[in-house]
Structure 1
Amino acid sequence: MSDLKIDRTAKTLRELTLDKLRGAIVQGYFKPGARLVERTLCDELGVSRTVVREVLRHLETEGLVETVARQGPIVARLDPSQVGEIYELRSLLEANAARACAERATPDLVLRLRDVRRKIEAAFAEGDMRDVLIHTEAFYDAMFEGADKLVSLSVVKSLNARINRLRALTIATPGRGEESNREMNALLDAIERHDGETAAAASCAHIKRTSELALRALAEQEARAS
């Protein structure tokens, strides 16, 4: 796991460690239920136990880590009922933002969204799932900001770690790249036309599909584990 070693030249050591360990969980490097042993993580990440403990506590607040009696920290398991609730909340907030964004969209905002969409498509084409996640988050940031739905955006951001973990599951589905690109381009086309109702409907359709894929992937994980 030498790829987990920390580059100390940019952010603070704690921020770098947090980014690295969060990414390892979100992208499935550490599987649900896996123990996160402090000493092992210190060696793999090349940081102190104090930093590891701080990061684990932070990831617990994000819902990526849970502490189990007599085991210590483990990668949080994805509960299907909680997953369903996350998608319900996303559907409400994102559809509302999509509608408002379409009503308010400026040419500059549409160009910004188009540019991010091109990056997402390129990342899918290259099989770079990390960049797919990064640019998808940037797309939604721009959409919520363009809609002037900043409180809604803060709610979504509080769930981002869990949302990205679910995205990592769904985008790994064969053929999902092409399907997702169609769904998101339909949303963006509606925003560009200032068609709020169609944008909201496209957003809901996209969330419904991703929810189906995520719940199916979770069921398959459970079946393999049993």
Structure 2
Amino acid sequence: MTGAGLDLRVKQDKLVRDKVVDALRQAILDGALKPGRRLTERELTELTGVSRTSVREALRHLQSERLVEASPSRGLRVAIPTVDEVGHIYELRAELEPLAAKLFVERATQGEVDTLIEIAGQLDPAESNNKDVLDRFDQVLLAGCRNPILEQVLGGLYTRIHALRRISAATPGRIAVTKEEYDDFAAAVLRRSPEDAAEAARRHVKAARASALIAVNLLEQGSD
């Protein structure tokens, strides 16, 4: 009986840790915990209502996802991508996103095409925060590729640059340009042209990379 109870308790502890990981990850992705923000076990214990052990394990897991990193001063902080990391990530995006665009045109259902076009039309240049629209666009695009490995890899890249995408999108004038880029992509999808869709995606990634480099410099200036 003692052994069975111990096994059950371990499973429960693991579940708590996973819930803390999910909560902190979402707070980071939503911007509630901003890049460069120092993270202390005491504060997070108070915020989550769980033990320091669970918080410590959750932070260790988030470090493995590169969402949390060691702070230059002390302790941990929400990760800030380096210029080199941004360059490496956008090198991959420049190859993978055009491929995703091409596969979407070739494989997506008409319902997915209609949904993507509708979402693209919801981008509002007058709105500084279009995060939900961009996230839904990515989800439909990746699902329509019908390639789960590409979806996993490219989705992981989007997670790594979550803060940069949000900050660069809020840069004056950037969302208006993004709107034009998405409209070009939507038009290519409507024409069912894989080549034009891939080229539109390539142009978008190139412009996004330039904005991301500006964003990472802003993040570094505001970090501890």
Taking structure 2 as the reference length, what is the TM-score of the superposition?
0.79
For 1:121, the aligned partner's letter is L
Alignment root-mean-square deviation, CA: 2.8
Q: 1:85 to 1:51 in 2, by over 3 A?
A: same
Q: CA deviation at 1:224?
A: 5.6
Letter in 2 for 1:82: E
Q: Distance in 2 between matches of 1:56 and 1:198?
A: 43
Q: Is the 8 A contact 1:105 1:191 kept in 2?
A: no
Task: Structure 1 unaligned segments of length 5 or more: list them.
Answer: 1-11
- The match for 2:11 is none
Tell whether the 8 Å contact from 1:38 to 1:53 is kept in structure 2 after alignment.
yes
Opposite residue 58 of structure 2, the aligned amino acid is V
Give the alignment partner of residue 47 of structure 2, picking from 44, 56, 63.
Answer: 44
Q: Is the deviation greater in 13-22 or in 34-43?
A: 13-22
* Structure 2 partner of 1:191: 189
User: d(CA) in 2 for partners of 1:225 and 1:107?
Assistant: 45
AA matched with 1:79 = T
Q: Which of 3, 22, 39 lines up with 2:25 in the alignment? A: 22
Which of 163, 166, 172 is the equivalent residue of 1:165? Answer: 163
Distance 1:220 1:71, change over 3 A: closer
1:1-226 matched pairs, under 5 angstroms:
14=17, 17-67=20-70, 71-118=74-121, 120-121=122-123, 125=126, 127=128, 129=129, 132-223=130-221
User: Which structure has the bigger radius of gyration?
Assistant: 2
**Aligned equivalents of 1:170 and 1:94: distance in 2?**
18
Match of 1:8 in 2: none
SS of the residue aligned with 2:50?
coil
- Return the TM-score normalized by structure 1: 0.79
State the percentage of identical aligned residues: 38
Q: Which moved more, 1:60-69 or 1:173-182?
A: 60-69
1:148–1:225 Cα change, 3 Å: closer
**1:225 Cα deviation after fit:** 5.9
Instruction: Say which is worse superposed, 103-112 or 66-75, in terms of deviation.
Output: 66-75
Structure 1 contact 105–194 (Cα < 8 Å) conserved: no
Q: Is contact 1:25–1:31 with CA below 8 Å preserved after alignment?
A: yes
Q: Shift of the alpha carbon at 1:28?
A: 4.6
Whether the 8 Å contact between 1:67 and 1:74 is mirrored in structure 2 is yes
Q: CA deviation at 1:108?
A: 1.6
Deviations 1:74-127 (A, max 9, x none): 222321011111111112111011112223344222112123334x526x6554
